[in-house]
Structure 1
Amino acid sequence: MALKIETFSSLKGGNSFFKAVTHPEAATQAAALIRRLSEARSVAIYDPLGFATGFAAVRDLSAVRIAGVYVQAVTDLGQERLGHATKPVTALAGSAADLVFVTAFDAERLTQQIAHLVPAGAEVVSLDELRLEQSLITNPRNYLDPLNFATNFAFFRDRDGSHSRVVTANYWSNYGAKETALALTLFDADGQVLARWREALPPGQSAVVIDSRRVRARFGLPAFEGQLFIHAVGGAGHDVVKYALDTFEEDGPSLSCTHDANAWPADFYAGLPAPRADERVVLWVQNSLPIAIPPGGIALNLMGDAHIVPFPEEVAPFATVPLDVASLLPEARWPQQIEIAAGKYVVRPRYEVIRGPRTRIAHPNVERTDLKPDPKIAELGPWLGKGFILPAPILPPAQWSSLLLPTPMALSQAALPIQATAYDPAGRALGTKRFGRLARRESVELALDELVADATALPWGHVELTYDFAAGTDVDGWLHALFRYENRASGHAAETSFGAHVFNTVLTYKDEPQSYAGRPPGLSTRLFLRLGAEPLDTLCHLVYPASTPWHPLSETDLTLLDATGREVARRRVQIPCGGSLFWRYHETFTAEERAAAGTDAYIVVRDTTCRLFGYHGLAGTDGRFSLDHMFGF
């Protein structure tokens, strides 16, 4: 059973109320509030904004003696909330309660409005008792301003020669932020706080690097495997903490990268791959809430299979627990894929694939519960051309194999009418695979070499997964796939997954083409490319997808910045419309320029003429590498 609280809405975005009542720094205040409520003889709950049920979902009110639940809107009368039928707040005076709990923040005005209705001698408290200290608040005039809860979690570990590195930039400065800081909390595997600290961000577009080795040395910590909670204070423009996460082995063969955790827990995730016969797949269950996940609160099932297997362990608040997929689904084998019933307890989780001495970390995606087929998408073909496109690299075939696995990513997707087309660097179509109408339970992998007549002659390319309306029109725009890459010499692999968008057309449909700031269409690019430390090189694959014909060539600047955000060097590249570019940091910038940029340098990929989609990774001379999609801001 999923928690009865809204975390994210496709219409309204992230729910800052959810973040406010689950924030780790509110734990002490929440415990004191619950204690006061529990000690009262009788509590009347005034719930003018409908927050009571959500609060009770994440804070235990079982010891509170509730006299009644009262509402302001007459349309809310008679609803069941916390086991009571709601009554009009005008009846509050007759409740005989000795404490009135107003389930709202910034509750002063709401409290004043009902002062004449409060029973004589009754105490009044509100959710303002949970307010964070002022140093954590960006906008004190509106406590539930999303910018007050620009937070996220990161999988974070430092043990046995393995360490993690979170990298981002102070992109809030682009939107006018002047004094930005990160408040950081590190939890161990048991959910206990290992360290709390604050890092002020230099002005401008400075780099932000949080290395587990530095954290461990700074606080004298033992080995740990848990999660890092990140709260950005003083930001502007973006209420999401975006980052790239790299996991390294100092003396081992493993290397992987992934990205931000999507910030809001969801009911379901999908796209978790089943293991091959020589692999183990471990799902890292990281509790994002201040309450325990009960036994059975997390469950797995094979995609399209109604048989759901619960995870029998309890997971403590903010704890991190490994779930070996084979322990619940021993029959699962690649290319099958697995759904995760997450109950809104975890933000987008990580999984780790272990094959021999090598491991790689990636993430599943949010499986939507609110979608249904949209016949308009098929009807709009004459205007939107290719429409929704999911682009991904075909890495240089001489060195890597590239593989595609379509993944249903909405509960309503009974079938996927799709096709995949490969393109060369100039955007010329090389071959198409029509999957037909894939049933939900079907997991069909496609080796992208099969789409190319002579793969060995291809320097690189890309694939576009699109709808095939000849096979069916029951589509919703939420088209996803997993892409797996393997180094042919070393056997090291990496994988990434993402969803489709409409690209590079001035025509719009709903919120597409997606825009990071302002209304759609989004027709420009600003991507963040973190750089690896020597001797690792950085890989980048930029794709220029276009739903309808757009500018023949991109005008793409690759700007190398040092840790302070100072420009060191710049390269202009041009990518043909419908084509792609695979490039390496060491080949594109000279040794002198790289030395001038120094450590913690990064690159901004900027294009004001078109929207590009990018993938990034690191590569060593020993055949290990990583790959994931980039983020923009």
Structure 2
Amino acid sequence: MLDIQTFDALKGGNVLYKALAHPLAAVAMEQLTARLAAGGPVGLFDPDSVAPPLLTMYPALPVGRLFVQDVRQIGTERVGLVAEAMTEIATSGIRTLLVAGFDADRTVALLRAFVPAEIDILSLDEVKIPAERLTNKRRYLDPLNFAMNYAFFRDEDGLSTRLVTANYWAGYGATDVRFWLRLYDRAGQILAEWSEPAPKGAGGVAFDSREVRARFNLSDFTGQLFIHAVGVAGHDVVKYAVDTIGAGNEQSLSCTHDANAWPSARYAGLPAPRADERVILWVQNSHGSAIPKGGIELDRMGAEHPVALNEEIPPFATRALDVSELLPDLRWPAQIEVRTGRHIVRPRYEVIRQGRTRIAHVNVEREGLAADPGIKTLPAQMGRGFLLPFPILPRGQYRSQVLPTPMAEAEDNLPLRIDVFDHQGKLAASKFLGCLPRDHATLVDLDDLLPADALQEFGGHADLVYDFAEGGDANGWLHALMRYERRDETHAAETSFGAHIFNTLMTYKGEPQSYSGPPPGLSTRLFLKLGGEGRHSFSHLIYPASGPWHEMSQTQLQLHDGEGVVLAEAMIAVARSGSMLVRPDLIFSAADIAQAGPRGYVIIRDKTCRLFGYHGLIDAEGRFSLDHMFGF
């Protein structure tokens, strides 16, 4: 288990972790390790408790002594080393002192005044990434210096991937955004490395595996693409959507989104396979050190009998793990917990059935998140409280199912109800699901809740909500996996999402969540890519409401071209607790769609309410994909 703190729900990401994990820092760390090993005994001066992440992420560092400045820390243990007073450095016998910090000139000068000249003093400034990769060159640990992420990237066996996003940093004042990219193969070896400018304005950005393959004359590959955005403002996260597209005899179509740049100890929401399926977990090492044997484990959710993968995974390598290798008898709708020791960022998984594949992601299982008794006693102003909204696709063509997924290590029950609404916001059905145990396999099929003729043409949506009719606890981190299948069983898609409080004036612990600024978040800005090559994009747009709010939304659709220029606008209105299937090709003219081009996109904007959406692609043959959208 890597001893690292990566993300806090209130404070955001740990920039120290990202600075240590950057691939260029990993290369520099190898060089520093060799230099330290050649120089004799090494001590680490650690005034800010950097030793745990540093020495667990880079266990080859030859550190034998640990020195601290705070007298209260003397005698404490960090990563197997007992902390000594920094006043012992001079007589310790070490030959090199490594300062565990960046921008360490003042600290080095302080130490140099009393450390003997024969002891060499170095710092983590030795592993800084090049200055041209920094947004703020004056302060290395500025979060904006590490706007980075990983993407599952493949061009193999008739499948390609296309990553799309926008230069949303331009909306916060950035004028010169650039991307530095590195592509790794399955073995963790570098296939390609390049830089690419973003559009000057809020233009679209696309990285297509077919274009990368041709540009660098590559053969088939599956691996991960590292993306570092430089010159950014406002956001230190690279958000994106990525499509998996089949060609020729390969008829798959699927989509997922950004990986989160911070690894977790556990992930949940991985489905067990049906008897006619294979489920592949794509284990992608996010760090410059190998994942040791036994570092990855799978367990049936709630069983507490994890099974380890008994092999090492090299730095930045990709391993396709068929879950049946470790859990051969487990079947859908059982769900799997993934234990990763914080070695990987949120991984993708792939379901293969009848020669077609669909890709989705697991979710971060929170550690240290306890039940919140305040949720049980939320006042009337918060209405139904936390909602997990998800689409019900038009039932004439599609079957919709939902599987609630525990998403905290301490979560042992889920007291739930499902409320179903038609597209006009009218309640169509409601059912108490019970107080589900952690190891439940309760799959809710909307066909079992609704009359045969309900929601046939326009679909609707459902909300999972907490219901304490039979007791139970809640933590506000309610998640579920949603699965959609065509009635003719030719194509399927799945996605997952978590609960929030939607559209209330009063707030509770940061809810309703805001994209930027303090809560409540009562406006909408969602990114919807366009289609292309015979495929059309769509959004299943939902107006979730925890309590009373505006009866109708006032939603603006803005069609942008690849440079961020607005070409056309349209207004729509979604009923409170209702939904709408939005297709840009049916709203905007064919000429405007063509002018928008392959990097064009639609911004869904509403200043009166918070909408939520799921997006995907669809073609004339009935292939479709679906995942939840992102905003900025």
Query: 1:439-588 to 2 correspondence within 5 Å?
Result: 439-453=437-451, 454-455=453-454, 457=456, 459-588=458-587
User: Residue deviations 1:133-189, cap 9 Å, x none?
Assistant: 111011112111111111100000111221000000000011111110010000001
Structure 2 unpaired stretches of 5+: none
Q: Aligned match of 2:421 in 423, 426, 433?
A: 423
Query: 1:329-478 to 2 correspondence within 5 Å?
Result: 329-453=327-451, 454-455=453-454, 457=456, 459-478=458-477
Q: Aligned match of 1:111 in 78, 102, 108?
A: 108
Do the aligned residues in 2 keep the contact of 1:391 with 1:465 (CA within 8 Å)?
Answer: yes
Once the two structures are TM-superposed, the CA of residue 354 in structure 1 deviates from its matched residue by 0.5
SS where residue 283 of structure 1 aligns? strand
Structure 1 pair 131–457 and aligned structure 2 pair: CA distance change class (3 A): closer
Once residues 579 and 4 of structure 2 are traced to their aligned partners in structure 1, the CA distance between those partners, rounded to angstroms, is 42
Do the aligned residues in 2 keep the contact of 1:484 with 1:493 (CA within 8 Å)?
Answer: yes
One-letter amino acid matched to 2:78: R
Do the aligned residues in 1 keep the contact of 2:372 with 2:474 (CA within 8 Å)?
Answer: yes
Indicate the larger mover: 13-22 or 216-225.
13-22
Do the aligned residues in 2 keep the contact of 1:191 with 1:319 (CA within 8 Å)?
Answer: yes
SS where residue 455 of structure 1 aligns? coil
One-letter amino acid matched to 2:244: T
One-letter amino acid matched to 2:512: P
Q: Aligned match of 1:237 in 209, 234, 239?
A: 234
Indicate the larger mover: 259-268 or 74-83.
74-83
User: Residue deviations 1:112-132, cap 9 Å, x none?
Assistant: 222323123211100000011
Backbone CA RMSD of aligned residues: 1.3
Do the aligned residues in 2 keep the contact of 1:381 with 1:387 (CA within 8 Å)?
Answer: no
Once the two structures are TM-superposed, the CA of residue 307 in structure 1 deviates from its matched residue by 1.2
Once residues 612 and 166 of structure 1 are traced to their aligned partners in structure 2, the CA distance between those partners, rounded to angstroms, is 24
Once residues 68 and 63 of structure 2 are traced to their aligned partners in structure 1, the CA distance between those partners, rounded to angstroms, is 18
Query: 1:56-67 to 2 correspondence within 5 Å?
Result: 56-61=55-60, 64=62, 66=64
Once residues 219 and 492 of structure 1 are traced to their aligned partners in structure 2, the CA distance between those partners, rounded to angstroms, is 33
Once residues 254 and 484 of structure 1 are traced to their aligned partners in structure 2, the CA distance between those partners, rounded to angstroms, is 16
- The percentage of aligned residue pairs carrying the same residue is 53
Do the aligned residues in 2 keep the contact of 1:299 with 1:309 (CA within 8 Å)?
Answer: yes
One-letter amino acid matched to 1:100: L
Once the two structures are TM-superposed, the CA of residue 93 in structure 1 deviates from its matched residue by 2.6
TM-score using structure 2 length:
0.98
Aligned residues: 630
Q: Equivalent residue for 1:603? A: 602
Once residues 569 and 65 of structure 1 are traced to their aligned partners in structure 2, the CA distance between those partners, rounded to angstroms, is 61
Once residues 41 and 247 of structure 1 are traced to their aligned partners in structure 2, the CA distance between those partners, rounded to angstroms, is 51
Once the two structures are TM-superposed, the CA of residue 262 in structure 1 deviates from its matched residue by 1.0
Once residues 277 and 337 of structure 2 are traced to their aligned partners in structure 1, the CA distance between those partners, rounded to angstroms, is 19
Q: Equivalent residue for 2:293? A: 295
Indicate the larger mover: 185-194 or 472-481.
472-481
Determine whether 1:250 maps to 2:247. Answer: yes
Q: Equivalent residue for 1:85? A: 82
SS where residue 517 of structure 2 aligns? coil
Structure 1 unpaired stretches of 5+: none
One-letter amino acid matched to 1:608: K
SS where residue 53 of structure 1 aligns? helix
Once residues 435 and 598 of structure 2 are traced to their aligned partners in structure 1, the CA distance between those partners, rounded to angstroms, is 49
Q: Equivalent residue for 2:282? A: 284
Do the aligned residues in 1 keep the contact of 2:56 with 2:79 (CA within 8 Å)?
Answer: no
Query: 1:7-406 to 2 correspondence within 5 Å?
Result: 7-61=6-60, 64=62, 66=64, 68-251=65-248, 252-406=250-404
Once residues 234 and 195 of structure 2 are traced to their aligned partners in structure 1, the CA distance between those partners, rounded to angstroms, is 21
SS where residue 25 of structure 1 aligns? helix
Once residues 305 and 542 of structure 2 are traced to their aligned partners in structure 1, the CA distance between those partners, rounded to angstroms, is 39
Following TM superposition, the consecutive aligned residue runs of length 4 or more in structure 1 with deviations greater than 4 angstroms are none
One-letter amino acid matched to 2:286: S
Structure 1 pair 455–271 and aligned structure 2 pair: CA distance change class (3 A): same
Once the two structures are TM-superposed, the CA of residue 620 in structure 1 deviates from its matched residue by 1.3
SS where residue 401 of structure 2 aligns? strand
Once residues 591 and 255 of structure 1 are traced to their aligned partners in structure 2, the CA distance between those partners, rounded to angstroms, is 23
SS where residue 206 of structure 2 aligns? strand
TM-score using structure 1 length:
0.98
SS where residue 114 of structure 1 aligns? helix
Structure 1 pair 70–549 and aligned structure 2 pair: CA distance change class (3 A): same
SS where residue 538 of structure 1 aligns? strand
Once residues 82 and 101 of structure 1 are traced to their aligned partners in structure 2, the CA distance between those partners, rounded to angstroms, is 16
SS where residue 632 of structure 1 aligns? coil
One-letter amino acid matched to 1:178: T
Once residues 489 and 327 of structure 2 are traced to their aligned partners in structure 1, the CA distance between those partners, rounded to angstroms, is 29
Once the two structures are TM-superposed, the CA of residue 456 in structure 1 deviates from its matched residue by 5.5
Once residues 176 and 122 of structure 1 are traced to their aligned partners in structure 2, the CA distance between those partners, rounded to angstroms, is 46
Once residues 185 and 324 of structure 1 are traced to their aligned partners in structure 2, the CA distance between those partners, rounded to angstroms, is 26
Once the two structures are TM-superposed, the CA of residue 490 in structure 1 deviates from its matched residue by 4.6
Q: Equivalent residue for 1:591? A: 590
Once the two structures are TM-superposed, the CA of residue 320 in structure 1 deviates from its matched residue by 0.7
Once residues 533 and 20 of structure 1 are traced to their aligned partners in structure 2, the CA distance between those partners, rounded to angstroms, is 37
Once residues 439 and 275 of structure 1 are traced to their aligned partners in structure 2, the CA distance between those partners, rounded to angstroms, is 21
Once the two structures are TM-superposed, the CA of residue 95 in structure 1 deviates from its matched residue by 2.1
